[in-house]
């Protein structure tokens, strides 16, 4: 429509410092330029010898280390352990979180009674519960799963409860007006409307479970990617340390992206 087009053009020229529209190409150029600049700067710093040896290892040695890690069967064994921990944490903590979140979000009374506890406990440092988890579940995989589950429970419960409250109340009134039975209400109104908050909660829970499980592995374990990080650290093998961290960040990013796509919620 001409009218809206005009308004849009107009605001584009009006805003202070909003600039013109730059093309996708220039965006990519800037990205490539920044990456190249950072890479060259890094390499130059690495070769200048200004910093202690190996603090800034050459990009080529990092690349070689990544390659070696990817070829190493131990990497996959550890990856499997960590992946299992994250999955189990998410299944237990996330499942409980969704259940509790739905109850707290749907019932105003229970929400008012118990949600403050979830809300204020959620942003506390969860890793400090690790000693307790070790006492309860031993030093193996189980304590990491327990800690991961504990961490993502809060994230998922809060996000789900918040999402539940945002469900448009008019939808519920519409359902009632059609004299839907409780079963019909649950299947036709609540479940479809809850999909997005629940899935978004799980995606957030994945991030929390990942960080917590990996951190717990760095503290005390004998397998998993976190353990591998500490092993490499104890050898002061800097290229491999950078390499493994890069791999872990990429894997976490990909996991987040896949969950985001699968659930239709953006990162």
Partner 1 sequence: MASPSFSQSRAFPILLGASTFIGAFVALEVLLRYGVVNKYVVPLPSQVLMSLERIVVEENIVGRMRDTAWEMFVSCIAVIVLGVPMGALLYRWQPLRRALLDWVAALAAAPLVLAFPLFLVIFGRSATTVIVMSVITGLAPIVIKTTEGLLGVRSVLINVGRSLKMTDAQMLRMILLPAALPVIFSGIRLSWTFVLISVVGIEFLINLGGLGQLINDLAERYDLPGTYGAIGFVILVSVIFFMLLERVESWLRPAR
Partner 2 sequence: MTLASTATTGAPSGQRPQLVIDKVFKQFGVGPGAVTAVDHVSFDVKPGEFVSVIGPSGCGKSTLFNIIGGLLDEYEGDVLIERERIAGPHKAVGMVFQEESTFPWRNVIDNVAFPLELQGVNKSERLDRAHHFIDLVGLKGFERLMPSALSGGMRQRVSIARTLVSQPQILLMDEPFAALDEQTRLLLGDKITQIQQDLNQTTLLITHNLTEAVQLSDRIVVMTYRPGKVKRIVDIDLPRPRSSDVVSSDAFGHYVAEIWADLREEASRGMADSESARRGGSRG
> Which residues contact partner 2 (rule: CB under 8 A)?
1-3, 5-6, 9-10, 13-14
List the interface residues with partner 1, window 192-251 (CB under 8 A). Answer: 207, 210-211, 214-215, 218-219, 226, 229-230, 232-233, 236, 238, 241-242, 245, 248-249
Nearest approach in angstroms of CB 6 to partner 2 is 5
Closest CB to partner 1 among 100 and 248?
248
Q: What tokens does 190 get? A: 């609540």
Residue 19 main-chain phi, psi, to 5 deg: 70, 175
For the residues of 64-102, what is the DSSP string, one character each?
A: HHHHHHHH-HHHHHHHHHHHHHHHHHIIIIIHHHHHHHH
Q: Cβ atoms within 10 A of the Cβ of 180, count?
A: 16
The three-class DSSP label of residue 28 is: helix
201-222: buried (b, 16+ CB within 10 Å) or exposed (e) per residue? Answer: bbbbbbbbbbbbbbbbbbbbbe
> Is residue 129 near partner 1 by the rule CB under 8 A?
yes
Which partner in partner 1, partner 2, none is near 238 (CB below 5 to 8 A by kind)?
Answer: partner 1
Which partner in partner 1, partner 2, none is near 252 (CB below 5 to 8 A by kind)?
Answer: partner 1
Closest CB to partner 1 among 50 and 121?
121
Closest CB to partner 2 among 13 and 48?
13
Here's the x/- map for partner 1, 37-76, by CB under 8 A: it reads as ---------------x--x---------------------
User: What's the N-to-C CA distance of the chain in angstroms?
Assistant: 32
Q: What tokens does 43 get? A: 């390499």
């Amino acid at each position: 429509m001409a009218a809206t087009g005009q308004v849009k053009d107009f605001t584009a020229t009006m805003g202070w410092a909003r600039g013109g529209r730059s093309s996708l190409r220039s965006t990519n150029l800037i990205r490539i330029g920044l990456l190249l600049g950072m890479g060259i700067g890094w390499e130059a710093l690495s070769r200048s010898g200004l910093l202690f040896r190996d603090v800034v290892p050459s990009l080529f040695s990092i690349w070689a280390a990544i390659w070696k890690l990817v070829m190493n069967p131990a990497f996959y064994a550890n990856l499997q352990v960590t992946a299992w921990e994250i999955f189990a944490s998410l299944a237990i903590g996330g499942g409980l979180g969704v259940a509790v979140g739905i109850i707290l979000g749907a019932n105003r009374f229970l929400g008012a009674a118990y949600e403050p506890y979830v809300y204020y406990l959620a942003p506390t440092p969860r890793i400090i519960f690790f000693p307790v988890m070790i006492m309860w579940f031993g030093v193996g995989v189980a304590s990491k799963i327990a800690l991961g589950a504990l961490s993502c429970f809060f994230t998922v419960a809060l996000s789900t409860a918040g999402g539940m409250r945002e469900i448009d109340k008019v939808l519920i009134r519409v359902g009632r007006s059609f004299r839907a039975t409780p079963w019909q209400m649950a299947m036709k109104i609540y479940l479809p409307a809850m999909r997005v908050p629940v899935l978004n909660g799980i995606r957030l829970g994945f991030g929390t479970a990942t960080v917590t499980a990996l951190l717990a592995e760095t503290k005390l374990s004998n397998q998993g990617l976190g353990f591998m990080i500490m092993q490499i650290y104890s050898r002061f093998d800097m290229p491999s340390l950078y390499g493994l961290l890069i791999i872990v960040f990429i894997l976490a990013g990909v996991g987040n992206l896949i969950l985001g796509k699968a659930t239709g919620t953006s990162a």
